[in-house]
Structures are given as C-alpha cells and as structure tokens.
C-alpha cells in the first residue's frame, strides 16, 4: 500500500491482475526491459538524509518479485522525520539458473539492511510480507533449503551489526 501511495505522486496507476501480489514497484521493475541503453542510476536519492543523527525511529519496508522473465526488489526507508528513501533494483539472474521468490525476498532484505548500515543506523523496525524470511531472520524457523542458506548466513552477519531490530510481518495484498 505504501508503494501505491508513493506511485500516485507520479500519476502511475496500478491495476491488479488475477493472482498477482501487491508488490507494485518490484513487479514493475521486474517487467522492464534492459535494452533502453540507459545506465542504472546508483545515486543516493536524498544524500542530505545521510547526515541525520537520530538513530531511532527508522523503518524499512522490503519486497521482492519474481515472474516468468525477470526479478526485482524494492526497499523503502522512512526516517524519524518522515523522509522517504526508496530504492529498487532489477536482479540479473539468468534464465538457465532461475531464482525462487524466496531468494528474491532475501535479496530485498539484504539490500535494505546494507543501505541502512551504510547510513550508520543501528536501530530500526523492519516490515516485510515474506513470513518465511522474517521468521528465519529472527531464528524462529530453520533454513532448510540449501539454496537459501548462503543468503541466510549473510543476512545473519548483517543483523548481528544492529543494536535493535524489530520485525513485523505484513500480510500480502
């Protein structure tokens, strides 16, 4: 829902189709073709926010999308002052080695935590619609899938660098 609100600013209207989740930005990114010849803009959208000294009150929303042809992830950081810092990335998994949706969800959470750590934030609330990833980060569920173990191990390293992380599972729309 937050992505939908952010997209309305740009007159982008999202219409749901049958059996498609509400991961608007990630789905849109995954559907884009890479042949436009444009370089990916890696600039931090609001560089002045990186100097914020308040470490509490930060929130992170993450989501990933995998469809038949592409993969994308989206992260939204919200500062204690209400500033929104969006980040979206199209992932480059090959057709011969496709990724599961759970891998894409792990990629999204990893991207978000890496960005937050670069900003020096060590306390945060994390929101995501992947119950499995959130439960595995909290240590409540074991990571049984061999393909997910490297992602989980790296995520544990990132989580260990925080003073306080609080997780909330958002129901999929």
What are the boundaries of each domain within the chain? 2-33+52-169
**In the predicted structure, residue 49 carries a pLDDT above the cut 60:** no
Stretch 107-115: mean pLDDT: 92
Taking Cα atoms as reference points, which of 15, 102, 109, 112 lies closest to residue 65? 102
Higher-scoring residue by pLDDT: 161, 33: 161
- Is the pTM higher than 0.85? no
- Output the pLDDT for position 64: 85
**In the predicted structure, residue 51 carries a pLDDT above the cut 60:** no
**In the predicted structure, residue 19 carries a pLDDT above the cut 50:** no
Tell me which CATH code domain 2-33+52-169 carries.
Answer: 3.30.420.10
**In the predicted structure, residue 20 carries a pLDDT above the cut 50:** no
Beta bridge partners of 165: 124
Q: Which token pair is 10?
A: 């740009």
**In the predicted structure, residue 166 carries a pLDDT above the cut 70:** yes
Q: Each residue of 57-99: pLDDT tens digit?
A: 899 999 887 776 678 888 999 999 888 989 988 887 655 555 6
Max mean pLDDT range (32-46, 85-99, 104-118): 104-118
- Output the pLDDT for position 75: 92
Higher-scoring residue by pLDDT: 166, 19: 166
Q: Please, where are the H alpha helices in the chain?
A: 2-8, 24-31, 101-118, 131-138, 149-159
């Amino acid at each position: 829902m937050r992505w939908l609100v952010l997209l309305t600013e740009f007159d982008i209207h999202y219409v749901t189709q049958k059996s498609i989740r509400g991961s608007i930005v990630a789905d849109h990114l995954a559907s884009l073709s890479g042949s436009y010849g444009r370089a990916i803009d890696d600039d931090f959208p609001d560089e002045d926010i990186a100097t914020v000294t308040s470490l509490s009150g930060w929130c992170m929303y993450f989501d990933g999308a995998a469809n038949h042809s592409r993969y994308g992830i989206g992260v939204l950081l919200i500062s204690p002052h209400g500033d929104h810092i969006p980040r979206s990335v199209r992932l480059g998994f090959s057709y011969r080695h496709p990724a599961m949706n759970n891998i894409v969800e792990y990629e999204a959470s990893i991207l978000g935590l890496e960005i937050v750590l670069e900003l020096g934030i060590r306390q945060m609330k994390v929101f995501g619609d992947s119950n499995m990833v959130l439960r595995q980060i909290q240590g409540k569920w074991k990571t049984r899938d061999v393909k997910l173990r490297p992602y989980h191990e790296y995520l544990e390293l990132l989580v260990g660098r925080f003073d306080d992380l609080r997780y909330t599972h958002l129901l999929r729309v």
